[in-house]
């Protein structure tokens, strides 16, 4: 199903009524926050990256009068500690952290909302814990297949040759046959003069392809957050997202009965639209909205509208 991209405003900005730090083992502690209606339908927001962390804007995709809104930072991300840690940081660990958080909050079942890497994690979580899912809203579908990773690291050269050349050019010519390993070495180097320029180059390349028009802000300012995201993303790319190739599509049978909305921009360059079509074909019970003229960004007007319609629709489910 294709749709145009009219504008719809987000819900008003709100502040959390509760925040906390939850130990989940392996030396990791997760930051989480609750906002909206304390007695409302629980919804958990799975952020992108990997390693991207939560932002106040993410609370605004849910009606605060109807939803109990749960945001949290995944292992090593945002305000979770230790920042940028790769120890015991795999897809399986993140899936079980979501379940640990659900039990900690006393939630029976919740709506699971995830975009980009968050869509990957949402599908993995639903496959492992379908009984905990009231509904799924997934956006900017990234299936973690080898083809998806190869496109991200190498294929984008065909669309953004200037950005890719800056990305690859950060490494000497003899290391450019394996960009990921070259970046992993630099990001792990204890010297800030080595790891920070590498982190900035990695993040600028990643963010340059997230929107159709150039960003006005600096997507990769020097600092610990840029370093943490780059380290975690490179770690997951190096390990093929800790998924078997095609694993997420094969797991749909475990949760195809769960109501779902799939939302994807026609001109998504980070996660090409083929992945969204593959998911929709494997999961015909889900409502698939292909938004014309939009990209990978959650802030695109048509993407925003489709997501708000989905969360409004699922707010009434039991």
Catalytic residue, chosen from 35, 170, 296, 297, is: 296
Please give the torsion angle defined by the CA atoms of residues 34, 40, 41 and 46, in that order, rounded to the nearest 10 degrees: -20
Q: 268 an active-site residue?
A: yes
Catalytic residue, chosen from 35, 85, 116, 297, is: 116
Return d(Cα 171, Cα 296) in angstroms, integer: 27
Q: What is the DSSP letter of 81?
A: B
3-state secondary structure 114-144: EECHHHHHHHHHHHHCHHHEEEEEEECCCCC
Catalytic residue, chosen from 5, 268, 295, 297, is: 268
Buried b (16+ CB within 10 A) or exposed e, 26-64: eebbbbbbbbbeeebbbbbbbbbbbbbbbeeebbbbbbb
Q: 116 an active-site residue?
A: yes
For 248, 257, 279, the CA distances from 252, given in Å and listed in that order, are 7, 9, 9
For 90, 215, 273, 294, the CA distances from 290, given in Å and listed in that order, are 30, 23, 9, 9
Q: What is the DSSP letter of 301?
A: H
Return d(Cα 88, Cα 90) in angstroms, integer: 6
Q: 210 an active-site residue?
A: no
Establish whether the linkage from the previous residue to 82 is cis, with ω within 30° of 0.
yes
Give the catalytic positions in this structure. Answer: 116, 268, 296
């Amino acid at each position: 199903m294709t749709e145009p991209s009219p504008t719809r405003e987000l819900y008003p900005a709100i502040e959390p009524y509760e925040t906390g730090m939850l130990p989940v083992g392996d030396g990791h502690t997760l930051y989480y926050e609750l906002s909206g209606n304390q007695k409302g339908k629980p919804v958990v927001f799975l952020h992108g990256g990997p390693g991207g962390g939560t932002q106040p804007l993410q609370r605004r995709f849910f009606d605060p009068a109807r939803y109990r809104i749960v945001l949290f930072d995944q292992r090593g991300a945002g305000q979770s500690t230790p920042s940028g840690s790769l120890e015991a940081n795999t897809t399986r660990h993140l899936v079980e952290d979501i379940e640990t958080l659900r039990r900690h909050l006393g939630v029976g079942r919740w709506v699971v909302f995830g975009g980009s890497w968050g869509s990957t994690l949402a599908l993995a979580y639903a496959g492992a814990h379908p009984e905990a899912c009231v509904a799924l809203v997934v956006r900017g579908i990234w299936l973690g297949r080898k083809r998806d990773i190869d496109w991200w690291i190498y294929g984008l050269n065909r669309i953004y040759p200037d950005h890719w050349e800056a990305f690859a050019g950060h490494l000497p010519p003899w290391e450019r046959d394996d960009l990921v390993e070259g970046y992993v070495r630099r990001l792990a180097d204890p010297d800030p003069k080595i790891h920070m320029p590498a982190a900035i180059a990695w993040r600028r390349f990643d963010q340059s392809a997230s929107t159709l028009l150039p960003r006005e802000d600096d997507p990769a300012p020097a600092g610990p957050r840029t370093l943490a995201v780059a380290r975690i993303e490179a770690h997951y790319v190096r390990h093929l997202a800790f998924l078997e190739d095609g694993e997420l599509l094969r797991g749909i049978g475990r949760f195809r009965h769960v109501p779902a909305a799939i939302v994807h921009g026609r001109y998504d360059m980070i996660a090409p639209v083929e992945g969204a079509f593959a998911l929709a074909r494997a999961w015909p019970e889900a409502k698939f909205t292909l938004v014309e003229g939009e990209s990978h960004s959650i802030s695109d007007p048509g993407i925003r509208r489709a997501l708000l319609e989905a969360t409004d629709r699922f707010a009434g489910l039991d």
